[in-house]
Structure 1
Amino acid sequence: MMSGTDESLRPQKSRITIFDEPIICNFCTHNVFIPYEIYVNVEQPGIGVRHVRYIAICQHCGQAKNFSDPSYYDAENDTFIWALNQYLISVREYKIKIIFYIGKRSDDKLTAFLNKLIEQNIEVENVHRVKTEVIVLATISSLNEIQTVRSTIMNSAMRLNVTIKNLIIK
């Protein structure tokens, strides 16, 4: 975590605040970005006066957001007011256990569901099938919270008409 320093924002996945207000993507309303420093010629072309600004790329949809650092010196209180805060995000690893039922001859449905999990960067480690019950053990490394991972799995199952009996994420 970086907070209230004269360092530039690090180009790493993070949440960024300006005066403790989070930067939110205008397109998808998520708040995880990778910020990059850019230099803009703010005077007439050719003079060569450059101003530092930031561009942050939303890690959910890829939309770019431009902003500047409004930090300033408060002469009245003889102190510098830091505006930008960056909170680096760590990747979490979740263990997943999915128990669901499929028909005896629904190998295509099972394959489609497993492929959908893999598409979502879920690493399927073990699949155990006894008649119509299937147990899938998997892991995922993600910046998302458990609720987001859970809803992603449930939405995929619903779209493929897979009835989940039990879903455990730790």
Structure 2
Amino acid sequence: MTGMDESLLPQKSRITIFNKLVICRFCSNDVFIPYEVIVNVEQPGIGVHHVRYAAICQYCGEVKHFGDPSYYDAEKGNYIWALNQFLLSVKKYRVKILFYVGKRKQDKKTIFINKLMQDFGAEIENVKEFKEEVLLQIRFSDLNDIQTNKIRIMSCAKRLNIYVKELTIK
């Protein structure tokens, strides 16, 4: 999207101001959901309002506040658009995880599945339990690529001391 004459849409996107990407100062990521914020810029009761934006980082939750610095260039006779929004497509993934839990570690299985559901917003398709192994099939939607999601799943398993034998993401 370029040369916007309308408000930013409240959807996951990358935002640029004068073609410079907006980056989160805490986690250095660039995926935000922008929202319009109406601010009273004068003394209360006068009724002069100004539109600004609050964009929420989709990785750490930091809120970035900014205005629209677009302006009319009288010398050239045209309007200079500052804000651009690039909407991101959300990918759908199906994941198959075969992991080892041991004989007395059934609590870890439940904690691991709950953590995946919480972190990824995953839906469980199937859970099959063998002697000391569990085959878990889930699906979720995410902006990240396959490799990033593999790293996130493996990191979650490692924190819970779960040994993942096989991990397939399609």
TM-score (norm 1): 0.83
Tell me the number of residue pairs that the alignment of Structure 1 and Structure 2 aligns.
169
Partners of 1:133 and 1:39 lie apart in 2 by 54
Q: How large is the Cα RMSD of the aligned pairs? A: 2.3
Q: Is the counterpart of residue 169 in structure 1 residue 169 in structure 2? A: yes
Matched to 2:166, the amino acid is: N
Instruction: Please give the per-residue CA displacement for 1:90-146, whole angstroms capped at 9, x wherever unaligned.
Output: 322110011222324432332232222222222221122333333211111223332
Partners of 1:159 and 1:67 lie apart in 2 by 37
The aligned runs of 1:3-152 (5 Å cut-off) are 3-43=2-42, 47-120=46-119, 121-152=121-152
Instruction: Please give the per-residue CA displacement for 1:23-44, whole angstroms capped at 9, x wherever unaligned.
Output: 1222332322222223334456
The runs of 5 or more residues in structure 2 that have no matched partner are none
**Hey, what does 2:158 align to over in structure 1?**
158
**More displaced stretch, 45-54 vs 86-95:** 45-54
Measured at CA, do residues 20 and 159 of structure 1 come closer, stay the same or move farther in structure 2, by a change above 3 Å? same
Aligned residues with identical type, % of pairs: 60
Instruction: Please give the per-residue CA displacement for 1:45-98, whole angstroms capped at 9, x wherever unaligned.
Output: 655443322222223333221111122223333332211111122322110011
Partners of 1:91 and 1:65 lie apart in 2 by 22
Q: Is the 8 A contact 1:117 1:124 kept in 2?
A: no
Q: Is the 8 A contact 1:99 1:135 kept in 2?
A: yes
Q: Match of 1:30, SS? A: coil
Q: Is the 8 A contact 1:117 1:123 kept in 2?
A: no
Partners of 1:14 and 1:127 lie apart in 2 by 34
Q: Match of 1:117, SS? A: helix
TM-score (norm 2): 0.83
Partners of 2:91 and 2:3 lie apart in 1 by 26
Matched to 1:163, the amino acid is: Y
Measured at CA, do residues 7 and 124 of structure 1 come closer, stay the same or move farther in structure 2, by a change above 3 Å? same
Q: Match of 1:140, SS? A: strand
The runs of 5 or more residues in structure 1 that have no matched partner are none
